């Protein structure tokens, strides 16, 4: 970076902690601690109001998230239950995405009315706690037509799929658009994934090096494998030399101000 170049002009790194719920809180907190051992960077916490797995201490989680907000982090609505319970169609693609890829894609096949109902229940849960929320990220990054239709009725600034950062319309802000930004992520649940995903993340980070945004998504199982955690720390440390860390909501505000990312109407991508 030359001496006159503003850090604000640099590309952005967004680090998010997924699947935040009482049952996963200890692992999520350890992920955040590992990231902050590298740098005091802002995080986006993807919170599930009624996570399908019981357990944990809700009061302890909420106290932790209050502290996160106080230090400048962001809380994101991450579905409502994080479990796909809709009937499955016969298509091979759908069966793979909603079976082999993930059984937690809650919004993969919901009709618009039910998707809207769950989003509203999630927003009500946030409002009861006085927590701001500007983003919605569907579990497993899966959204069907119904979920996309439902999103149009809410005042979110953004959503994300695995491949794109989607700038939504917001209140009176036009029509929205999307930015290509595949997420760096680890496949911690099987041995082959644990071996391959760090290599794939390195290749993806290299390919995205000069793009406006790199996203790193961390999940609770990642913390159980020191090799993955060390790789995430090394990746963040390396990227911070060239990227500015910010929350997804802050990045959305940057895009809204510049209006530079709008490339097509938002919808299934």
Q: Which CATH superfamily is domain 7-258 in?
A: Glycoside hydrolase/deacetylase (3.20.20.370)
Region 147-165: mean pLDDT is: 95
Region 177-188: mean pLDDT is: 93
Q: How confident is the model at residue 20 (pLDDT cuts 50, 70, 90)?
A: very high
pLDDT, one tens digit per residue, over 247-266 is: 999 999 998 888 654 444 44
pLDDT, one tens digit per residue, over 26-44 is: 999 999 999 999 999 999 9
pLDDT, one tens digit per residue, over 231-244 is: 999 999 999 999 99
Of 1, 31, 26, 37, the C-alpha closest to 16 is: 31
pLDDT of residue 85: 62
pLDDT at 93 over 50: no
Return the percentage of the chain with pLDDT > 90, whole number.
73
Question: 192: burial class by Cβ within 10 Å (0-12, 13-18, 19+)?
Answer: exposed
Whole-prediction pTM value?
A: 0.88
Of 123, 127, 126, 107, the C-alpha closest to 115 is: 107
């Amino acid at each position: 970076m030359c001496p006159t170049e503003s850090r604000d002009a640099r590309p952005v790194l967004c680090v998010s902690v997924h699947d935040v719920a009482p049952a996963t809180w200890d692992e999520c907190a350890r992920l955040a601690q590992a990231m902050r051992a590298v740098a005091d960077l802002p995080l986006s916490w993807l919170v599930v109001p009624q996570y399908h797995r019981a357990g944990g201490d809700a009061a302890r989680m909420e106290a932790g998230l209050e502290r996160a907000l106080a230090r400048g982090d962001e809380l994101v609505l991450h579905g409502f239950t994080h479990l796909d319970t809709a009937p499955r169609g016969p298509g091979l693609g759908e069966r793979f995405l909603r079976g082999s890829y993930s059984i937690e894609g809650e919004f993969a096949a919901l009709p618009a009315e039910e998707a809207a109902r769950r989003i509203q229940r999630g927003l009500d849960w946030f409002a009861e706690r006085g927590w701001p929320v500007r983003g919605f990220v569907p579990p497993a990054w899966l959204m069907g037509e119904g979920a996309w239709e439902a999103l149009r009725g809410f005042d979110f600034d953004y959503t994300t799929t695995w491949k794109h950062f989607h700038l939504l319309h917001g209140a009176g802000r036009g029509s929205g658009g999307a930015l290509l930004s595949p997420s760096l992520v680890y496949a911690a649940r099987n041995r082959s994934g644990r071996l391959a995903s760090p290599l794939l993340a390195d290749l993806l980070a290299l390919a995205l090096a000069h793009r406006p945004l790199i996203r790193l998504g961390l999940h609770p199982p990642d913390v159980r494998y020191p090799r993955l955690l060390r790789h995430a720390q090394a990746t963040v440390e390396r990227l911070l030399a060239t990227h500015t860390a910010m929350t997804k909501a802050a990045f959305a505000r940057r895009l809204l101000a510049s209006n530079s990312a709008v490339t097509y109407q938002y919808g299934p991508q």
